[in-house]
A = this chain, B = another copy of it.
Amino acid sequence: MNADRLEGKLAPDVKRRLIAVVGEERFLDSLNERYVYSYDATPIFQAMPDAVIMPQTTAEVSEILKIANEHRIPVTTRGSGTNLAAGTVPTAGGIVLNMQRFNRIVEIDRENLTVTVEPGVVTADLHQAVEAEGLFYPPDPGSMRISTVGGNVAQCAGGMRGLKYGVTKDYLMGLEYVLPSGEVLRAGGKNVKDVAGYDMTRLLAGSEGTLAVITQLTLKLLPLPEAKRTMAAYYASLGDAARTVERVIAAKIIPATMEFLDQATMRVVDEFAKLGLPTGMKAMLLIEQDGPEEWVERDIERIAEIAKEEGAVQVRVAQTPEEGANLLAARRAALSALSRLRPTTILEDATVPRSRLAEMVAEIERIAEKYDVQICTFGHAGDGNLHPTCLTDERNKEELARVEQAFEEIFLAALRLGGTISGEHGIGLAKRDYLPLQVGEGGIALMKAIKEAFDPNHIMNPGKMFANSARRRVVIKQ
C-alpha cells in the first residue's frame, strides 16, 4: 500500500488550510479513519475518502467548502450513514464532511409549533425531546435510532407514518445552508405560509447532499395524539390483505400506520423473535391509529370489521400499549431478522400507488422465482411503499448478477404500475442508472442544470443521483 493510500490524496497545503479551520483533532486522514467512512449502510458499495472533517460551526463549514471549491475537491456530507442507496459513500474520494457535531436542539417553540435543530441531532432524540413537551414530529424512518435529522432531510426520509402524516419534506419549514462557494443562505422560517421566491427548503429536501450543506433546520410539529391503538390481521391470501387496505381507505379512514409482511418475512421474523406468528398465513397487516381516544377506538373497530369481511383468518386488537408494541415488534424485527440469514441483505423500496399494491407484490414474487433469488417483501402497505429485500451473498458474483437483474425488473414493474424506483431511500449511486427511466433524459438534463446553479464545479457529492463527474472511484477490495 503506497503513501497516497495511507494519507489520502489532499495536497499538503490544502490539508494545512483545512486543519487551520477545524484543528488537528477534527481532521482525520489515517487509513483506519478513512476506512470507517468509506461505506454507509448500503451493501456492496465502498470508496475511500481522502480525509474526514468534523465541523462544529456554520462558519467552519463555509471555510471548508471555500477551500474544497477552490481546489475542486469532492465533498460528501454525512450524518450517521444509514443511507441505503450508497448516497453517502465518497465514491469520488475527497472530503467526507461528518456533521455529527452539529447536534444541538436549538429551540422548541411551543407557540409556533416548531423545533429548530442542527442537522446532526439523532431523529429518535428529536422525537423524545418534543414528545416530552406533548408535541409530535411524525417522520419515523426505520433507522431513526441512529439516523440524523440532517440525513433524513437530505434523503427526504419516510417511515411508517407516511400515509397519514407525510414524509420529512412535509415538516421542513426553514433552513440555513451553505453553498459550495461558502456563502451562507437561509430559506423559509417559522411561517406557516411563505411564498417569497422559489421554495428552496423543498428543493434541498431529498437533494442527497448534491446541492449544499444544511447547517440548521426548522421543522413543523403537531400536537402529540392523545391515544394510539394497534391491531394485526392475518390472511390466507395476499389479495384479501390488499383489499382490506383499499377498503379501509375507501371507508375514509386514514390510519397512522398500515404495514404489510409477506409469508416469507413472517417466517423469518418468527424464527428470529419467537413471536408465535401464524406462519401458515400468506400475509399479515399491522395497523395503528392515533388521535383522540374515542375516535381511535371507533376507527380500530371499523378496521377490524373490514378486515374480517375481507377474509382475515385472525384479527387481534391490542388491549394495552404493551400488547400493541408486541404486535409491532414483528415489523420492527423484519430487517434484523432477514439480515441474519445470509451475508448480504439488499433492502429496496420500489413503491407504487396504493391501489397497485397486490399487483406489485405478485410481480415481485414472479420475478424472484424467475431469477431464482430469495426476496422477502414487507413494507408500508398504506402508502404503497414496499421493501422487497433480497438475501444474497455479494461474494457470489453469479448470484449477485441475477439479483441485480431481478431488481432491475422490479424497478421496471414499479414504473409500469405508475410507481417510483424509490419511495424513501433515494437514488444515490445505487439507483442512478434507473432514474432516467422514471424522469426521462429531459428530466435528468433539467436536474443537472439545477445542480449547476448551486454547484458549478460539481464538488457536492458528485456522481450521486446522476453521473456528473469523471473522477474515478478508489475502492479497497475486501
Contacts and interface: CB of A to CB of B under 8 A. Distances in A.
A423 B191 contact: yes
B420 A192 contact: no
A259 B294 CA distance: 29
A195 B111 contact: no
Given A113-B249, A193-B385, A353-B112, A446 B453 contact: yes
Interface stretch (A3-11, A181-189, A233-241, A266-274): A181-189
A434 to B, nearest CB: 9
Interface stretch (A37-45, A74-82, A203-211, A367-375): A203-211
A156 B249 contact: no
A440 interface: yes
Given A206-B198, A447-B197, A353 B435 contact: no
A223 B254 contact: yes
B192 A384 contact: yes
Contact of A179 (B186, B207, B427, B442): B442
- Give the interface size class of chain A: 35 or more
Interface stretch (A161-169, A279-287, A467-475): A161-169
A316 to B, nearest CB: 25
A134 interface: yes
A191 B446 contact: no
A59 interface: no
Contact of A197 (B110, B185, B191, B439): B439
B223 A419 contact: no
A443 B204 CA distance: 14
A48 to B, nearest CB: 27
Contact of A385 (B192, B206, B223): B192
B465 A189 contact: no
A192 B162 contact: yes
A167 B193 contact: yes
A453 B443 contact: no
Which of A134, A189, A425: most chain B CB closer than 10 A? A189
Interface in A350-389: 351-355, 380, 382-385
A170 interface: yes
Interface string A27-60: 0000000000000000000000000000000000
A285 to B, nearest CB: 16
Return the 3 tightest CB-CB contacts between A and B, nearest first: A223-B252, A449-B453, A202-B202
10 contacts: A109-B353, A110-B250, A111-B354, A155-B195, A156-B199, A185-B442, A192-B383, A193-B384, A197-B438, A197-B465
